[in-house]
Structure 1
C-alpha cells in the first residue's frame, strides 16, 4: 500500500537517490543532490516536501514538492516543483497521488499554482492537466539537462484569484494570440484589448551604466522607495528585501546615471549552473532610461556569453513595456492570468523570453491540450531566426512602400519564410488563391492554361496578391524557374493583419493597385486574359 506523507529529515538520502536516478549527473538544481540542502528544504516553512512510501517495505518510491511564496509581497503564488517516481514505483499511480496530495495540502494557502513540466515526455504534463492545471505557455530551452530542454507551463487558480482579476489587459498584437489561448484554457473569456499602434519607451542613449556595489545599496533603496509609478516588471525579489538576500539569490543591478544623477536601475538574477537569467525589477526616474537599461542588459548577456535564456514577467496592462521588450529580442512565451497582487486586484502577466541560443523545437513532446500554445511559441521562435531577412524584404519590396519602421516589423512578424525549389509548381489554374508571396530571391515563371509564358516574377515582386484579395481561384500557373526564397502570407493571416491594423491595410491595398498596374504594363495583357 502506498501512503503519501510529509517528508522527514531521514528521507533526504532516498530523495537524493531518486533525483539522481531520474536525471543522472546533469540536474539543473544541484541542491537536490545535497543531503543537507534537502534537509533544510524539508524543515522550511516555505517548502512543502511530500514522499510516497510503500507501507509494507518502508521504501520511498516517489517525491514531490511545492515552493510556497515564490511571488513578491505575499502574492499567494506557489510553484509545484519536480515530481519524481522511483523506477520500482512506476505504473502504480504514484505520480497522480502525489499531485493530488500537494493540491490538498496547499490549496487554502494559494491563489495561483504553477508547474513547469518537462517537455521531453508527456508524463508530468498529463498529470498536471488531470488535476486542474491548464497550459498557458512554453518556456523554450529553459532547463539544462546535458542538452537544453523546454518546459510546458501549466497554471491552476485557487480561492478568489479569478474574482480579483483586473479585466481588459492591454496587449501588443504579438502577445494577443497567446493570451487568447491561455485565457480560454483557464475557462476565461478573452477580454484583452489590442493596442493597434504600440510604442516602445523612447530610444535614449546618453547614460552611464554602473553595476551596483554594496555602498550603492542605500542610495538605490531610497531612490526606489521614492517611486510611485505602477510596477511593470514582476519578480520574487525586490530591492527592499535586503542586500544579504539579494546576494544569496545572485541578484545584480545595472544602474543608469545621467549627469551623475541616478535615473534608473534594472535588477536581475543569474543561475550560472542553468545558464539562465531573470529580470525581476525595473525602476526609473522617468521614461527615458527604460529602453536603454533593457537593451544594455541584453547586450551584456550576449557579449559575455554566460546566459542562454533570459526571461521577464511583464505587466499585461503596460503595452509600452511589452513593446520595449519585444524590440529587444524578447518573445511572449506564456500568459499567466491573475498572477500578481496590485493594490486590491490581481494582474495578468506576460512571461517574455529572449533565447540567446539557436532554437530547434523538433524534440518537443507536448501533451495534446497544450499543443496549440506550444505551436504558437514555436512559430514565434522559428520566425525570430528569419525575421531580419523578412524585415529587409519588407523594406525593399514595393508592396510595402510607405510603411513605418514599426509597421514593417509588424508585417514581417506576420509572414513565413518559404524555400522555392527549381521546377516546383506553386499553383495551377483553378487552385485556391489562398496565399500571397513576395519573392526574396530566385525567379517564378507565369504560364497561361496553354503552358505559354506570359511573364516572370523576380525579387521584391509579389505573386498571388490580386487573386487572394478578390477571393478567387488562380487562372494561371506559377513555376519556379530559378531557386530561391519567398515571404509567404496566407489569406487568413492577411485578413487578420488588415483587421487588426487597418493603418497597414490601407497602405497595402494602395500598393497592390500600383503593383498590378505595373505588371499589366510589363506583361502581354492580351495573352494573359484572352488565352488564360
Structure 2
C-alpha cells in the first residue's frame, strides 16, 4: 500500500497518540500528550501549528509539525518539531518522504527551516542530511524523553544565506570556531574577524531589580524605544515546553531594573517545567550598565529558586558585549544560526548559548560525520565545565573573586593546581620570589617572620595568602609553613597575567578586590596603631 503525505486534522488525534506511544513509549513527562482531546486541539488548524503526517492505510507512520511562532515574529524561519517516526518508517521510506515533502513545501514559501533531532537518532540525522540540511549546533542534555538527551540542530536554507555579513569579534573565540564549522557545512564564505577588544557589561551595578509581568515588561520596553535601545536577543522562537513543544500558552515571567526613579532595563523569560530549563525570550536596556546585572539575576534565579538544569538564550551575533557578558556568566555557544533574525529588512546571524547547572557529559551516541564534528566543537567549548565543582564553589566564596561570573571563575580555576603539604612543611621561604598565590582548600598555614618567631598570621580553609607579592613578583617578606596536613590551590603569576591580557575585565575585578582588601587591612592597622602614637 502506498504511503501518502497529508495535513493532519483534529480527528487524527487517536492515531497520533498511537504513534507517540510507538516512538517514545508511555514515559513522556507531559501526560497531556497522551490525551486525545488535548492532541486534537494541537492538530486543529486554529492552534496555529501545522502537523503533517506520512500515512499508510489507517496508520500514521511518521509526523512532523511546523510550530506556531510567537505573535509578531517576522523572522523567515520555520521551526520544525514533534518529529516522530516508527521504526518501519525508516525502512519503507515514509520518514524520508515526509521530510522531503515538507522541505519542498517550506522552500516554496521562501522559509529557512530549523529542526531539533535527538542525538541518539542516527536514522533521522541521515535523512535530513540527504535532503540538504546542515548541522549547525549541538545542545547536550536539552530534552527529557525517557532520559535527558542531547539534540542536534539542523538547518535548511531556501535561498543563499547572507552573501555578506559583519565580522565576528576575535574576543569570542568559541563563537568564531562554531561559526566557521557552520559556514563550512552550509557552503557560506567564512567572514572576517575583527580585533575589537570587546568587553562585557558589568555583572554587578547599583540597580534595583523587581519581578514584573510580561505586560509590564512590554510597556516599559515600548517606552524605552525613545532611547533607541540595541536589539540583542532574538525572540522569535516557539514558546512551547519540552521536546514536543506543548503548553505554548504558559506565561512568561519578567524582571525590571530600576535606577533611581527610572526603569532602565528588563528581561523576559520562560520557565519550561518539562525540560526544567529557563529560556530568556527578550531584553531591553536604556544604558550600558544594566543588562549584565539583569542577566546575572536571571541566572541566579534559575539556579537557586527554579532549580533549572540550564538557561538558554539566542543572541544576535553582532552584539559582542552581551555575548561577552554571557560568557562571563558561564554560558557556552552551542549553535550558530545564519540569517535567523531580520532587522530593518536585513537578516542577521543568531548565536544560541546555554548555561548548564548540571554535570556535563560527552555525547556517546552514533553520529554522522557532520554531526560528530559539531559535537566535537561544542564538547571543546564545554571543557571548562569539567572543572571540579568544589573548586568553583570555593572560588565563588572568596572576596578576591567577588563580582566575577561563573564563566570567569572557571577560567581562573583552570589555572590552579593542587598541592599537598605535610605538617611542618614550608610553602615558601622569606626572600623567595613571589611567583605564586595560594588558596587553602583544606588545612591551616602559619605565616612567620623567621623560623624562631611565633606566627604573625594563620590562614585557614577558604582563605588566600601570598597574593601581594604575587602581583609584582617582589620577594616574600615572611615564610609560610603548614601547621597541619593541608591541600593548597596554587596559581602561577605568569599564567594569571596571560589570562588577564585576554580577559581585561577579569583582571580589573581581581585587582580592584585586592586593592579593597589591602585598603581595609591598612585601615585596621592604622586604627590599632593610633593609641600607640598618642
TM-score (norm 1): 0.70
Of residues 214-223 and 134-143 in structure 1, the stretch that sits farther from structure 2 once superposed is 214-223
Indicate the residue corresponding to 1:376 in structure 2: 377
Report if aligned partners of 1:111, 1:161 keep a CA contact under 8 Å in 2.
no
1:170 has 2:169 as partner: yes
Of residues 171-180 and 214-223 in structure 1, the stretch that sits farther from structure 2 once superposed is 214-223
Shift of 1:10: 2.2
Indicate the residue corresponding to 2:529 in structure 1: none
Shift of 1:22: 1.2
Indicate the residue corresponding to 1:20 in structure 2: 21
Cα separation, 2, equivalents of 1:294 and 1:388: 22
Shift of 1:206: 1.5
Q: 1:92 to 1:372 in 2, by over 3 A?
A: same
1:49 pairs, out of 38, 48, 51, with: 51
Q: 1:116 to 1:213 in 2, by over 3 A?
A: closer
Report if aligned partners of 1:272, 1:306 keep a CA contact under 8 Å in 2.
no
Report if aligned partners of 2:75, 2:341 keep a CA contact under 8 Å in 1.
yes
Q: 1:83 to 1:119 in 2, by over 3 A?
A: same
Shift of 1:314: 0.9
Indicate the residue corresponding to 2:138 in structure 1: 138
Equivalent runs, 1:335-484 vs 2, <5 Å: 335-386=336-387, 440-441=418-419
Cα separation, 2, equivalents of 1:314 and 1:300: 20
Report if aligned partners of 2:183, 2:189 keep a CA contact under 8 Å in 1.
yes
Report if aligned partners of 2:168, 2:176 keep a CA contact under 8 Å in 1.
no
Indicate the residue corresponding to 1:326 in structure 2: 327
Shift of 1:440: 4.5
Shift of 1:122: 1.2
Q: 1:151 to 1:89 in 2, by over 3 A?
A: closer
Cα separation, 2, equivalents of 1:412 and 1:273: 29
Cα separation, 2, equivalents of 1:162 and 1:117: 25
Indicate the residue corresponding to 1:272 in structure 2: 273
Q: 1:216 to 1:58 in 2, by over 3 A?
A: closer
* Contiguous gaps of at least 5 residues in structure 2: 240-246, 396-402, 422-434, 439-486, 505-534
Cα separation, 1, equivalents of 2:129 and 2:488: 41
Indicate the residue corresponding to 2:282 in structure 1: 281
Shift of 1:370: 1.4
Indicate the residue corresponding to 1:76 in structure 2: 76
Equivalent runs, 1:5-404 vs 2, <5 Å: 5-27=6-28, 32-44=33-45, 46-54=48-56, 57-69=57-69, 73-87=73-87, 89-159=89-159, 161-163=161-163, 166-170=165-169, 172-195=172-195, 197-213=197-213, 216=216, 219-236=219-236, 248-386=249-387
Cα separation, 1, equivalents of 2:175 and 2:54: 40
Q: 1:68 to 1:184 in 2, by over 3 A?
A: farther
Cα separation, 1, equivalents of 2:231 and 2:204: 21
Q: Residue by residue, what CA displacement relative to the aligned partner does 1:383-425 show, whole Å, maximum 9, x if unpaired?
A: 2231889999x9xxxxxxxxxx99xx889759979xxxxxxxx
Of residues 293-302 and 227-236 in structure 1, the stretch that sits farther from structure 2 once superposed is 227-236
Cα separation, 2, equivalents of 1:123 and 1:178: 24
Cα separation, 2, equivalents of 1:303 and 1:391: 16
Q: 1:24 to 1:238 in 2, by over 3 A?
A: closer
Cα separation, 1, equivalents of 2:109 and 2:71: 13
Report if aligned partners of 2:233, 2:281 keep a CA contact under 8 Å in 1.
yes
Report if aligned partners of 2:169, 2:196 keep a CA contact under 8 Å in 1.
no
The 3-state SS of whatever aligns with 1:65 is strand
Cα separation, 2, equivalents of 1:281 and 1:175: 21
TM-score (norm 2): 0.69
Cα separation, 1, equivalents of 2:337 and 2:352: 8
Cα separation, 2, equivalents of 1:188 and 1:350: 16
Q: 1:338 to 1:66 in 2, by over 3 A?
A: same
Shift of 1:144: 1.0
Q: 1:6 to 1:111 in 2, by over 3 A?
A: closer
Cα separation, 2, equivalents of 1:198 and 1:365: 38
Shift of 1:53: 1.8
Report if aligned partners of 1:68, 1:77 keep a CA contact under 8 Å in 2.
no
Cα separation, 2, equivalents of 1:70 and 1:136: 22
Q: 1:47 to 1:211 in 2, by over 3 A?
A: same
Q: 1:363 to 1:237 in 2, by over 3 A?
A: closer
Report if aligned partners of 1:6, 1:50 keep a CA contact under 8 Å in 2.
yes
Cα separation, 1, equivalents of 2:330 and 2:312: 11
Number of corresponding residues: 427
Shift of 1:141: 0.8
Report if aligned partners of 1:41, 1:47 keep a CA contact under 8 Å in 2.
yes
Cα separation, 2, equivalents of 1:415 and 1:86: 46
RMSD: 4.2
Indicate the residue corresponding to 1:524 in structure 2: none
Cα separation, 1, equivalents of 2:357 and 2:408: 22
Shift of 1:7: 1.5
The 3-state SS of whatever aligns with 1:354 is strand
Indicate the residue corresponding to 1:519 in structure 2: none
Cα separation, 2, equivalents of 1:121 and 1:193: 35
Cα separation, 2, equivalents of 1:29 and 1:161: 36
Cα separation, 1, equivalents of 2:175 and 2:248: 33
Q: 1:247 to 1:377 in 2, by over 3 A?
A: closer
Cα separation, 2, equivalents of 1:218 and 1:197: 33
The 3-state SS of whatever aligns with 2:210 is strand
Shift of 1:236: 2.3
Shift of 1:185: 1.0
Cα separation, 2, equivalents of 1:138 and 1:250: 27
